[in-house]
Amino acid sequence: MTHLTCAAPGCTADHARADRYCVAHRTRLRRYGHPLQRVVTAQDLQPFACRIASRLSENGEVRFLLADRWSKLVEVVATIARSGVYRVPFGDPSSDRRATSVELEAARRFLTTAARTTPEKVVDLVIGLTILRTLKPETFEDDRAFRFLIARRFFGLSTSNAARHVVSKSTTYKTFHPDLMLAIAGWLWAAFGEVAVRIADMEKAEMEEAMADDERLRRSLDALS
């Protein structure tokens, strides 16, 4: 039996299969889209929840428009699942084509979660992950991992209520076809990506301003002594 060393940088674990990675790194690749990507939990996003809430409540119309965008996305995905015709959400209708089996499965999975969550939770999730990526880019190995985590945390929304107690760990960590993850992330990004980037940039600017203020204060205090 030939033993090969895992292809993940810094990993010395070996494996006997015709695979590039050891079990641990292969699992991460399947779950999070990159062999080195670590999990991002609901707790990691918690600090941003209040900030997003206050930002969006300053302009009630934005909340309303985002909820409307969510309804439209659900409608498009429901049409894909029902008709088998793929239409890019918020895209050009003239590009309609037959949906692949993975896209149909993605549509069904999407709708199952959509029925168990609220537009607010979905919006806050996409914005929260985007703020995290903007403030701590090192959290995500690459854009693919970022997208996987959007899809994974989206699935997590349907278990983040009382239902969580009856869902086993194996269900929570079920892995899907990579194209399914990327399709779902792509739909959510088409709906909320632009707003998420704008809000994340505002958060970053505000944080940098606060840090500059701290620095000024520190220098002034130094000058006192």
Binding site for Zn ion (CB under 5 A): 6, 8, 11, 13, 22, 25
Closest to Zn ion by CB, 15 or 69: 15
Shortest CB 22 distance to Zn ion, Å: 3
Closest to Zn ion by CB, 100 or 175: 175
Residue 97 phi/psi, 5° resolution? -155, 175
Which DSSP category does 5 fall into? E
- Residue 52 CA neighbour count, 13 Å, CB half: 24
Tokens describing residue 193: 């990506």
Closest to Zn ion by CB, 5 or 118: 5
Closest to Zn ion by CB, 4 or 11: 11
163 Cβ neighbours under 8 A, 6+ residues apart: 116
Tokens 């959007």 belong to residue:
150
Residue whose C-alpha is closest to residue 204's, from 144, 124, 131, 154? 131
Shortest CB 1 distance to Zn ion, Å: 18
- 8 A C-beta contact, residue 63 and residue 57: yes
Shortest CB 215 distance to Zn ion, Å: 41
Residue 86 phi/psi, 5° resolution? -90, 125
Shortest CB 175 distance to Zn ion, Å: 17
How far is residue 2's CA from residue 16's CA, in Å, rounded to a whole number? 6
Shortest CB 36 distance to Zn ion, Å: 9
Closest to Zn ion by CB, 8 or 45: 8
- Using DSSP bridges, classify how beta strands 14-15 and 4-5 pair: parallel, antiparallel or unpaired: antiparallel
